[in-house]
Structure 1
């Protein structure tokens, strides 16, 4: 399932935060990875945090209150540094302890939750940053290995029935309910795991973006295992 990062022209590999935020997306490259090998114990942090909801935001004071081993302290320093770097950059990072995301089960022919392959959209020039510190990692697909769900004939016909309005307003309807952001893997598609501890920057769909947005999704969680995820 996991392709090698260095063998994929969709991925740009960098070794510092300044490189992560200053490297331009170009051509097929719409995902940039600050590839890191950490020796911190993120599992220890997860084991000592308290899950209040299926998705619980973790704040700096929560991390600082944890009694930790030397490797746990190292892991905490890594997380706090990432949060500070992104905040100083002007982003608004959120650290989440999560059991599971809410599922979209309203329609049986199309899903619009984060477990579905999707792209992020923004009206302004921005990017998505994320890092899985513990648990199953997020994953993405090359753009030539997916098909927009709203272009699949049987799905499109059902969406037209759901719309039940003027044809001229159909595309606006698809955008309003985010149907157009979701993608179906083609046969033999090969998902790429983002791995653990690496900080990623993904291209999003916005007017000034010169590359295709990165198609990604949240993974199905392992039973009994929480994820610790930074995202903004």
Structure 2
């Protein structure tokens, strides 16, 4: 794994929320991260929260109801402030307590769940924001080190076996079922772990985007440990 701020052309390092949202993606740079070394006890918050489903949405009122130590209060204030910053910006942040995501086991030749390297797509100009406060952190990969799964001959041939419509609408079938969003990485690829506490902005595939969308995935969770993730 590569360090988030090691020498690379993919991630831009910023020092404030304003810089994070105002800096343009350029060239190979399709990820921006607000470099932060957060104080506070985020583990205390995770320990007190109640997991109701494998992915449980946590609301600000849930955080406010917790009885926390001084360090826990610091962590809570950081999360609530991030929530407010993103909301004021016009985003719709969601805080999730995660045991695991649902795995895609429909096809044995192509995975389309969030553990597969993928890009996000939107019909309007937007970006993906995320921050891992506790647990395993999300990963990204250089576009040059990955290939769309639908372009791999063996996978494409099996997808054609699934499709029973007109030949000239096959690409629409791939897009409508989100197969085109998923990527296979090269054997020598070096993923970049986004780390804990950094609020990151990733480029999304949309009509006005000037760079390639950022390829990313959810990490394998650490044994016996939940994740606390803010995402929108």
TM-score by length of 1: 0.99
Q: After superposition, give the CA deviation of every residue in 1:101-155 in whole Å (9 maximum; x if it has no partner).
A: 0111000000100000000000000000000000000000000000100000000
**Take 1:125 and 1:4, find their aligned partners in 2: how far apart are those partners?**
25
Which residue pairs with 1:126 in the alignment? Answer: 126
CA distance in 2, matches of 1:63, 1:106: 36
Q: Which residue of 2 aligns with 1:80?
A: 80
Structure 1: which 5+ runs fail to align? none
Residue deviations 1:35-78 (CA, integer Å, cap 9, x gap) = 10111110110000000000000001100111111111000000
The aligned counterpart of 2:179 is 179
Structure 1 runs of 4+ aligned residues shifted over 2 Å read none
Q: Which moved more, 1:163-172 or 1:44-53?
A: 163-172
After superposition, residues 1-232 of structure 1 pair within 5 angstroms as: 1-232=1-232
> Which segments of 5 or more consecutive residues in structure 2 lack a partner in the other structure?
none
Total equivalences in the alignment: 232
User: Which deviations, in whole Å up to 9, do the C-alpha atoms of 1:169-216 show, x marking residues without a partner?
Assistant: 100000010000000011200000000010000000001000000000
* CA RMSD after TM alignment: 0.7
8 Å CA contact retained: 2:4, 2:195: no
Residues 147, 185 of structure 1: 8 Å contact kept: yes
How far off is 1:4 after superposition? 4.6
